[in-house]
């Protein structure tokens, strides 16, 4: 096995096509097929299923891609660093939508004040997609909402958050002193898309209590939900950090749900096999500083 076969495999994986991979690599299709066959024979595994004219990655192929992408990334990092130590670098960061709204922008600004010769690219998606990106080495580090249970990932909590059930001030529930889940379930719900952390938590809560809900509005945008809620009767579950202004000015009302209180943590994640460059370590340090007691969660790898 060599880097050539690994590069060919990763291109086929990403393009989901031998033809497209061959065109991108500027080699003939039989060479691509041969490289995949050599890898499969080397390890006695099946990387792709060939169905009709299409190819589909197998479960083993998914696991193989994780290793292959990290090996190639580390090799390229070594090549660039040894040949051009002062060359500009690039970091790919992923953030959940909520964290990306109010934490990431000033972290990036602080990072760019420290490192002038590099670039940091940020991908804003829901937490589930960010985790997948880190697993596939498409993202160097990610910040997501709530814990991720996977032995392949390093997880560092860096900030606490609280989820609230909120509505506008004309909602009839604002007149009640104690709100229960059944009261909320009878209202139209304005929710984030499946895969977002707040949606997963809310869905889990209602399912655990065997309560059916009516989702009237679904969006990937927190702001669209907030604006819709101001004008329409309904309820959403959202981070208090996103609605502090609206609550203070009185356009949104926090429902006192009894007996539940939703607290969670924002988590920094990266792959256990990820090589942490000095720049990545510095970025991790800046993220951890969001927590006042950040010195308590810094570990050996943060000796910058």
- DSSP codes, the chain: --HHHHHHHHHHHHHT-HHHHHHHHTS-HHHHHHHHHHHHHHHT---EEEETTEEEE-HHHHHHHHHHHHHHHHHHHHHHHHH-TTS-EEEEEEEEHHHHHHTHHHHHHHHHHH-SSEEEEEEEE-HHHHHHHHHTTS-SEEEEES----TTEEEEEEEEEEEEEEEETTSGGGG-SSB-HHHHHTSEEEEEPTTSHHHHHHHHHHHHTT---EEEEEES-HHHHHHHHHHSS-BEEEEGGGSHHHHHHTSEEE--BSS--EEEEEEEEEETT----HHHHHHHHHHHTTSTTGGGT--GGG--
Identify whether the C-beta of residue 14 lies closer than 8 Å to the C-beta of residue 136: no
Mean pLDDT lowest among 32-46, 76-90, 160-174: 76-90
Average pLDDT over residues 285-301: 59
Question: Which pLDDT belongs to residue 145?
Answer: 87
Question: Which pLDDT belongs to residue 296?
Answer: 38
pLDDT band of 281, cuts 50, 70, 90: very high
pLDDT band of 70, cuts 50, 70, 90: confident
What are the two backbone dihedrals, phi and then psi, of residue 51, each rounded to the nearest 5 degrees? -120, 115
Question: Which pLDDT belongs to residue 301?
Answer: 32
Report the percentage of the chain scoring pLDDT > 70.
Answer: 93
Average pLDDT over residues 193-200: 88
Residue 302: is its pLDDT beyond 60? no
Residue 295: is its pLDDT beyond 50? no
Look up tokens 């996103």; give the residue. Answer: 242
pLDDT (tens digit, 9 = 90+) per residue, 90-103? 899 999 988 998 89
Look up tokens 């209602």; give the residue. Answer: 206
Cα–Cα distance between 167 and 73 in angstroms, integer? Answer: 47
Question: Which pLDDT belongs to residue 196?
Answer: 87
Cα-Cα-Cα-Cα dihedral of 84, 85, 87, 92, to 10°?
A: 120
Report the percentage of the chain scoring pLDDT > 90.
Answer: 59
Question: Which pLDDT belongs to residue 304?
Answer: 29
Question: Which pLDDT belongs to residue 215?
Answer: 93
pLDDT (tens digit, 9 = 90+) per residue, 37-65? 999 999 999 999 988 778 999 999 999 99
> Whole-model pTM?
0.73
Cα–Cα distance between 286 and 132 in angstroms, integer? Answer: 23
Question: Which pLDDT belongs to residue 83?
Answer: 78
Q: Which of the pair, 172 or 291, is modelled with greater confidence?
A: 172
Identify whether the C-beta of residue 142 lies closer than 8 Å to the C-beta of residue 94: yes
Average pLDDT over residues 241-251: 91
Residue 258: is its pLDDT beyond 70? no
Average pLDDT over residues 118-147: 91
Name residues whose C-beta falls within 8 Å of residue 64's C-beta, 6 or more positions apart in sequence.
Answer: 9, 39, 43, 45, 47
């Amino acid at each position: 096995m060599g880097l050539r076969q690994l590069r060919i495999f990763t291109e086929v994986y990403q393009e989901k096509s031998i033809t497209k991979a061959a065109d991108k690599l500027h080699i003939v299709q039989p060479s691509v097929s041969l490289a995949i066959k050599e890898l499969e024979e080397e390890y006695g595994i099946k990387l792709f299923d060939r169905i009709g004219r299409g190819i589909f990655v197998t479960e083993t192929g998914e696991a193989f891609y994780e290793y292959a992408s990290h090996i190639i990334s580390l090799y390229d990092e070594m090549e660039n660093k040894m040949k051009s130590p002062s060359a500009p670098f690039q970091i790919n960061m992923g953030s959940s939508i909520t964290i990306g709204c109010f934490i990431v922008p000033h972290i990036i600004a602080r990072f760019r004040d420290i490192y002038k010769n590099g670039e940091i690219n940020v991908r804003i998606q829901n937490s589930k997609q960010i985790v997948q990106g880190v697993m596939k080495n498409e993202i160097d580090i990610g910040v997501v909402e709530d814990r991720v249970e996977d032995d392949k990932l390093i997880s560092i909590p860096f900030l606490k958050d609280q989820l609230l059930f909120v509505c506008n001030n004309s909602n009839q529930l604002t007149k009640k002193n104690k709100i229960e889940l059944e009261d909320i379930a009878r209202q139209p719900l304005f929710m984030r898309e499946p895969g977002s952390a707040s949606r997963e938590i809310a869905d889990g809560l209602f399912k655990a209590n065997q309560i059916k809900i009516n989702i009237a509005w679904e969006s990937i945008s927190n702001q669209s939900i907030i604006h819709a809620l101001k004008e329409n009767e309904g309820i959403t579950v959202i981070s208090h950090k996103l609605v502090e202004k609206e609550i203070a000015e009185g356009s949104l009302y926090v429902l006192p749900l009894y007996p539940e209180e939703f607290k969670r943590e924002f988590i920094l994640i990266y792959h256990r096999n990820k090589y942490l460059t000095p720049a990545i370590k510095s970025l991790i340090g800046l993220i951890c500083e969001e927590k006042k007691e950040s010195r308590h969660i810094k570990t050996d790898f943060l000796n910058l």
